[in-house]
């Protein structure tokens, strides 16, 4: 079997999708699967809205409907894998070539208020169409598989659950202790760590408000808050939300807890920040998987997350959970953890156990199942008509049934990790 894998999305900067594509390629190589990675090398960076996004959308349509099918035919691919929901229209030259898509989450449908309305409408329409047109759908978690089945009506026999491995790590690296945190004091004060951007569904306002409460309660004993990623300064609504407990600080101080921002740290800088942190705080309202908490757990960093189906599936018993959108509850949990080093140590040990039970090799095997399923479906039912747009919208930057999708195994924690 020859698989053509579109890696274009992984070339748009550091992201969960980029990590997924990189680790999947390595896993498939370990299984001796013939993979031809292709990418639109000339595609500009995300446009941020306006005419640049319109330009990128036209470019993406050309890549999806013209260039990618030509490459698939040229290389004699049996399967084309789209790491995000998009499929090309089948023509004579690509007849019989199966198409597989990956769905990471349906946050734009579950939390539409946190997205540009135009993007949410576009994504809901085009991603659903791509999922229905594909010969097989890879869901990155049981949570996402449930949403794809129930909300989009994708037949259960065309969904394969392929849980992610432990982020940038390999399972054997965790088991052999190669991911253990190194002694590190990158900052002059204790700190809590957030990793990611400030898109609305990540719910940074709740974290900032909780940190303000900690400052009010603990004074000089409160830890700093480090935001690692592309995060803007606090918005007015955040300042107003925290007004009762004091303004949001912006610079370092030896005696007062502050917020610090580290813009787009590289891998080594991020590892150093993880190694020195008290805990990773991840207040996101919805995730398909949650690679950031997984990577932190693999490193032995205690994790605090907002409770949601995808994150409870991922973190299991290895995280401290808080109700979403509740700054007071988050501050309570953080305050208790800061005062309880034994609890922090227990979370670190549990996190390494849960992360070590995941494997990109197992994920790659599930993908092979999806490719095999897709080829069989294409041969049995004929080529899909093709639908779905590439991953660039106006925003910057059925058989439902009660059956379960193909998982084998359904729970990565119940499956021995592959080397």
* Confidence tier at 255 by pLDDT (50, 70, 90): low
Find the largest Cα–Cα distance for the chain. Answer: 70
The residues facing 231 across adjacent strands are none
Please indicate whether residue 246 or residue 262 has the higher confidence score (pLDDT): 262
Q: Which of 288, 310, 418 is nearest to 363 (CA)?
A: 418
pLDDT in tens, 204-223: 999 999 999 999 999 999 99
Q: How does the average pLDDT of the chain come out, rounded?
A: 85
Least confident interval from 186-190, 217-221, 247-251 = 247-251
Domain(s) of CATH 3.40.50.2000: residues in the chain:
2-165+359-414, 180-356
Res 218: pLDDT: 96
Name the residue with higher pLDDT: 230 or 121: 121
Residue 392 confidence class, pLDDT cut points 50, 70, 90: very low
Which pLDDT tens digit goes with each residue over 89-122? 888 888 899 999 999 999 999 999 999 999 999 9
Residues 297-351 have pLDDT tens digits of 999 999 999 999 999 999 999 999 999 999 999 999 999 999 999 999 999 999 9
- Report d(CA 373, CA 100) in Å as an integer: 9
Assess whether pLDDT exceeds 50 at residue 51: yes
Answer yes or no: is pLDDT of 242 > 50: no
DSSP tag of 357: T
The pLDDT value recorded for residue 385 is 52
Res. 382 pLDDT band, cuts 50 70 90: low
Is the pLDDT at 2 greater than 90? The verdict is yes
pLDDT at 9: 83
pLDDT beyond 70 at 250: no
Looking at CATH, the fold of the domain delimited by 180-356 is given as Rossmann fold (3.40.50)
Task: Pick the closest to residue 94 from 117, 75, 118 (CA basis).
Answer: 75
What are 155-169's pLDDT values in tens digits?
999 999 999 999 876
Range 56-70 average pLDDT? 93
Q: How many residues would you count in the chain?
A: 419
According to the model, what pLDDT value does residue 246 have?
41
**Higher pLDDT residue, 398 or 47?**
47
Mean pLDDT of 79-91: 93
Rounded to whole angstroms, the Cα distance separating 14 from 199 reads 15
Is CATH 3.40.50.2000 correct for 2-165+359-414?
A: yes
For residue 239, the model assigns a pLDDT of 44
Q: What is the mean pLDDT of residues 8-19?
A: 82
Strand-by-strand arrangement of the 224-228 sheet: 259-262, 224-228, 191-195, 280-282, 303-306, 320-322
pLDDT of residue 302: 97
Contact (CB, 8 A) for 262 and 226:
yes
- pLDDT for residue 241: 43
pLDDT score recorded for residue 27: 95
């Amino acid at each position: 079997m020859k698989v053509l894998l579109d890696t274009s999305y992984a070339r748009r900067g550091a992201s969960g999708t980029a990590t997924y594509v990189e680790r999947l390629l390595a896993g498939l190589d370990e299984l001796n699967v013939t993979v031809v990675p292709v990418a639109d090398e000339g595609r500009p960076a995300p446009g941020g809205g306006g005419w640049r996004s319109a330009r990128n959308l036209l470019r993406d349509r050309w890549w999806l409907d013209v260039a990618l099918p030509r490459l698939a035919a040229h290389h004699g691919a049996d399967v084309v894998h789209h790491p995000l929901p998009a499929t090309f229209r089948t023509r004579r030259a690509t007849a019989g070539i199966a198409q597989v898509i990956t769905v990471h989450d349906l946050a734009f449908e579950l939390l539409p208020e946190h997205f540009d309305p135009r993007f949410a409408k576009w994504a809901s329409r085009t991603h659903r169409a791509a999922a229905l047109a594909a010969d097989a759908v890879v869901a990155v978690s049981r949570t996402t598989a449930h949403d794809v089945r129930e909300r989009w009506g994708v037949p259960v026999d065309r969904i394969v659950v392929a849980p992610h491995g432990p982020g940038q790590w390999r399972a054997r690296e965790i088991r052999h202790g190669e991911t253990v945190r190194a002694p590190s004091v990158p900052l002059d004060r204790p700190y809590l760590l957030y990793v990611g951007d400030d898109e609305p569904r990540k719910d940074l306002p709740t974290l900032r408000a909780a940190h303000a409460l900690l400052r009010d309660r603990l004074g000089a004993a409160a830890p700093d808050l480090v935001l690692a990623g592309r995060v803007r300064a606090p918005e007015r609504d955040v300042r107003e939300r925290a007004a009762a407990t004091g303004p949001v600080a912006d610079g370092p101080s030896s005696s007062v807890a502050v917020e610090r921002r580290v813009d787009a740290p590289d891998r080594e800088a991020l590892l150093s920040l993880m190694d020195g942190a008290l805990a990773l705080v991840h207040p996101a309202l919805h995730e398909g998987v949650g690679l950031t908490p997984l990577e932190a757990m693999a490193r032995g960093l205690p994790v605090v997350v907002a409770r949601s189906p995808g994150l409870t599936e991922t973190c299991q018993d290895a995280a401290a959970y808080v109700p979403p959108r509740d700054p007071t509850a988050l501050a309570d949990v953080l305050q208790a953890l800061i005062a309880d080093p034994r609890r922090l140590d227990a979370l670190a040990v549990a996190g390494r156990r849960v992360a070590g039970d995941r494997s990109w090799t197992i994920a790659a095997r599930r993908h092979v199942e999806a490719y095999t399923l897709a080829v069989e479906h294409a041969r049995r039912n004929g080529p899909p008509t093709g639908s779905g747009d590439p991953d660039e919208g106006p925003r910057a930057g059925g058989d439902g049934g009660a059956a379960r999708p193909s998982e084998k195994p359904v729970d990565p924690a119940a499956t021995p990790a592959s080397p």
